[in-house]
Chains A and B, each alone.
Chain A
Amino acid sequence: KQEVTQIPAALSVPEGENLVLNCSFTDSAIYNLQWFRQDPGKGLTSLLLIQSSQREQTSGRLNASLDKSSGRSTLYIAASQPGDSATYLCAVYNTDKLIFGTGTRLQVFP
């Protein structure tokens, strides 16, 4: 059974810091991996989708990497801003389903 874990569970950093969020999964036979952002009480915003044949994707200040063999993905956020405060979820496409990680709650303070 696929299990997706995110570390750390919560993170509080000052504005301007570069930070790394970690995601690990137990079954490396995944199709794609996707990172989402969720603001309190809101739905999901897709950030980056990495296909299984890719090793990384970049969008603005965000960079996501994927290492299927080790069952890991990282989301790198450069020059963090207070507006980045949210919960970040990684999810893996495993056969026909999307399995979500436990999430990292990020707070960036001015």
Chain B
Amino acid sequence: GAVVSQHPSWVICKSGTSVKIECRSLDFQATTMFWYRQFPKQSLMLMATSNEGSKATYEQGVEKDKFLINHASLTLSTLTVTSAHPEDSSFYICSARVNSASEQFFGPGTRLTVL
């Protein structure tokens, strides 16, 4: 139980294009999903928190117009990197939880490379 999937697992795109990453909770309903970014040899940094049906809450320094988050259902959240640039190349990991008292369950991550 408590499986979270991400799609795609890796993506390569040209600079200036937009990329959408999906995060799904497969066997539970997630009221809250989280998006993290991890640069090489660094730890995970929280980018934003999204609650189903509400606007996402972004961490300081994360551009909401560049990283669009949509949490349209209790099992799906999407992160769209708009007008991607090489510095956006990173490992993006999502997590999901049932409620505020439960632990977060993590997806396998998506490797984004922007050429």
Interface residues of chain A, those whose CB is within 8 Å of chain B, are 32, 34, 36, 41-44, 46, 49, 89, 91, 93, 96-103
B12-20, B66-74, B75-83, B107-115 - the one binding chain A: B107-115
With an 8 A cutoff between CB atoms, is B43 at the interface?
yes
Among residues of A, the one whose C-beta sits closest to the C-beta of B32 is: A96
> How distant is the Cα of A100 from the Cα of B111 in the complex, in angstroms?
19
Chain B contacts for A43, CB-based, 8 A: 6, 93, 106-109
CB <8 Å contact, B43 and A97? no
Given A89-B44, A98-B34, 20 further pairs, Cβ under 8 A: A32-B103, A34-B103, A36-B106, A41-B111, A43-B106, A43-B107, A44-B106, A46-B103, A49-B103, A91-B44, A93-B103, A96-B49, A96-B100, A98-B95, A98-B104, A100-B43, A100-B44, A100-B45, A102-B43, A103-B43
Among residues of B, the one whose C-beta sits closest to the C-beta of A89 is: B43
Chain A contacts for B98, CB-based, 8 A: none
> How distant is the Cα of A98 from the Cα of B93 in the complex, in angstroms?
13
Chain A contacts for B108, CB-based, 8 A: 42-43
The tally of residues in B whose CB lies under 8 Å from a CB in A reads 19
Majority DSSP secondary structure for residues of A touching B? strand
Contacts A41-B111, A42-B108, A42-B109 given; does A97 touch B49 at CB 8 Å: yes
Within 8 A of A (CB), among B21-69: 34, 43-46, 49
8 A-B residue pairs with Cβ-Cβ distance under 8 Å, sorted by A, are A36-B106, A42-B108, A44-B106, A46-B105, A49-B103, A89-B44, A96-B49, A98-B95
Chain B: minimal CB distance from A27 (Å): 16
Chain B contacts for A100, CB-based, 8 A: 43-45
